[in-house]
A and B are shown apart, each in its own frame.
Chain A
Amino acid sequence: MRKVANILEVNSVTKTFGGIVALQDVSINVPERGVVGLIGPNGSGKTTLFNVVSGFYVPDKGEVWYHNGGNSERIDGLNPNEVFAKGIVRTFQIPRLFKSLTVLENLLLTPYGQKGEHPMKAINPETWQEEEKALAKKAIELLKRFGLVEYAHVKVSELSGAHMKLVETIRGLMTPARVFLLDEPAAGVEATAAHNLFRLVRELNANGYTFLIVEHRIEVLMQYVDYVYVLHNGQLLAEGKPDEVVSDKRVIEAYIGDANA
């Protein structure tokens, strides 16, 4: 486990908003093919860290590195669309799907740099039909695999919360993405669906995908991750294997302290 190279490295990142320090000197390593959890009480900086990695915020200090194959790149400061193009997909706490489009269309639009997205080519279907056909086959295969094929025609605004999370996650599989950043995949989802989603994460992980997951429902998360980082007030409080972290006094204190506040 330790010998595996890191695919994503966050090195001493600091991010402040006015006088508020959202992240202070936070370092996180995500090993290739790892499933890493990121926990912490409300306001501890988990989502800020996600926003730094996915390109929404530029860190004040520190660096974010992405090691793809033999290729190492610094990705802090890139725009979100550029980060995506490198192969990092993120989901949101509240699923951000395209509500007026159907499930199939939501999958189809995901791949980066489609030929038919160019205006001159869009008016001439012959130039993009082959690509579209291949994408449709791939999307339908995914929908079948995750039991969503009968929802292909349904607008995503009519789906249940759990299905929305599922669609948002498998949407990333339409791309050559290698790293998934999941922001609270189990929030607002009943227990069975939450476990199903995490089982899917493990299944995908076995196929070579890497995950960094923010989750409030620690009891669910801990069963599925290899390694956990705990943030508290913008600082890294603890890290380690799930069972080590759960029994860490500082972590318990942070959570109970938070509950009493």
Chain B
Amino acid sequence: MIDVVGFLISWLTFLGIYGILAISLNFESGTSGVTNFGKAFFYGLGAYIGASLTVYLFLLLNNIDVSKVSPFDVEGIVYLGQFATKNPLLNIGLFILSLLLAFIVAGIVGYLLSYPIIRVGPAFVGFTLLSTGELFRIFVLHYKPLGESKGIMSIPHPFAWIPNPTVRTALYLAVVLGFLALTYFVFNRIYNSPLGRTLRAVRDDEVAALCLGKHVPKLKATVLFIGSGFAGIAGVLMAFYLGSISPTYDMIGPPITFNVWAMIILGGMGNLTGSILGAIIFTFLDRLLIFVTPNLGITVFSPDYIRGFLVGFLIVAVLLFRPQGILKEGKIETLAWKVYEEEVKGEKSG
């Protein structure tokens, strides 16, 4: 029997987190033409900043000497579990601090990474960011203060003090959806502004944009700052949702990036509403299969492969039959169109 409420909460939380990634990636790659194959890097960076900061501070603020008790060892994990339910304010405070810090650090790293990519074409931009992500993952895999391959376990949930797990996860879901709404609001505002217009111009023709006085490198850096900042937030949200994070390929590696790419291709490049649509379809299938496949009784191969296969199949099908995606790229909706309506109407009546 499938647990419907559990499924809904799980699906919608994933939708919220992936929705943030999809909107910000679509803004970077669809609207502004920065081929970001390193989405998982900024997401993983955010997750690690949030998680490591929280576990260390959590132990420190509970008067435990982190130089003796590592938050990655059994002892530390036991302490983390014990203290998690004691002080709601500490949990929430560290969660908020994690979100802020992840946004700023991921944003700044994105900003700095715009320097090596200024002079290269879109494919090289993609691969520079992709390989930076893998470098980061391999670094974390071998870096002791971040838990090496064990990863960070037992991240104190911001609502761990609520005893009922359904209420706890539902409340967290509300927070995640709140951030999704915020992301959509911010990117939609920028999209329909002179900045959005200029970014699309840069995507269409960099040289011509330069000729019109647009500072292309600065614009790309700005885009990467904002987009990466929001990816960092998504990473924190995922880390706290799962309660653990590890430097595995599936968790902060390229598959995350390409899942998000699949969403924006599906929803329509350059259309932010399309990104949410793509994320809805994609995460629904993904979560449904996670809940359903164990019940199929397949033993010949791991049923997890079905998900991977479906992602690829979906991308190929969309590219074959509707290359522009479900929703097309629209106009830049500013006041100008209203002025146009007025002026042209005035002409006809006058």
Residues of A within 8 A of B (CB): 54, 79-82, 84-85, 89-90, 92, 96-102, 104-106, 108-110, 112-119, 122-125, 128-129, 132-133, 135-137, 139-140, 144, 149, 152-153, 171, 175
Contact = CB atoms under 8 A, between A and B. Distances in A.
Interface in B113-135: none
B205 A98 contact: yes
A117 B208 contact: no
Interface string B190-219: 100111111011011101111111111000
A119 B195 contact: yes
A105 B207 CA distance: 18
Contacts of B311: none
A198 B201 CA distance: 27
Contacts of A98: 200-201, 204-205, 208-209
A132 B190 contact: no
Contacts of B195: 116-119, 122
The DSSP consensus for interface residues of chain B is helix
Contacts of A152: 340
A101 B212 contact: no
B331 interface: yes
Given A84-B211, A140-B343, A171-B212, 18 more contacts: A80-B211, A96-B205, A96-B208, A97-B204, A98-B204, A100-B200, A100-B204, A100-B270, A108-B336, A109-B194, A117-B195, A119-B195, A122-B189, A125-B193, A125-B335, A132-B334, A133-B336, A136-B335
B325 to A, nearest CB: 14
Given A108-B194, A123-B189, A129 B335 contact: yes
B211 A105 contact: no
B213 A108 contact: no
Interface of B: 186, 189-190, 193-198, 200-201, 203-205, 207-216, 222, 226, 270, 329, 331-332, 334-337, 339-340, 343-344, 347
A133 B339 contact: yes
A175 B205 CA distance: 19
A133 B210 CA distance: 24
A109 B197 contact: yes
Contact of A99 (B204, B332, B343): B204
Contacts of B201: 98, 101, 106, 109
Nearest to A123: B189
B341 to A, nearest CB: 10
A140 B212 contact: no
B334 A81 contact: no
Given A123-B186, A140-B343, A100 B197 contact: no
A90 B339 contact: no
Contacts of A149: 344
A140 B339 contact: yes
A81 B335 contact: no
A114 B201 CA distance: 14
A89 B210 CA distance: 11
Given A109-B198, A140-B340, A116 B205 contact: no
A99 B205 CA distance: 8
A40 B211 CA distance: 24
Contacts of B210: 79-81
Contacts of B209: 98
Contacts of B347: 144
A123 B198 CA distance: 14
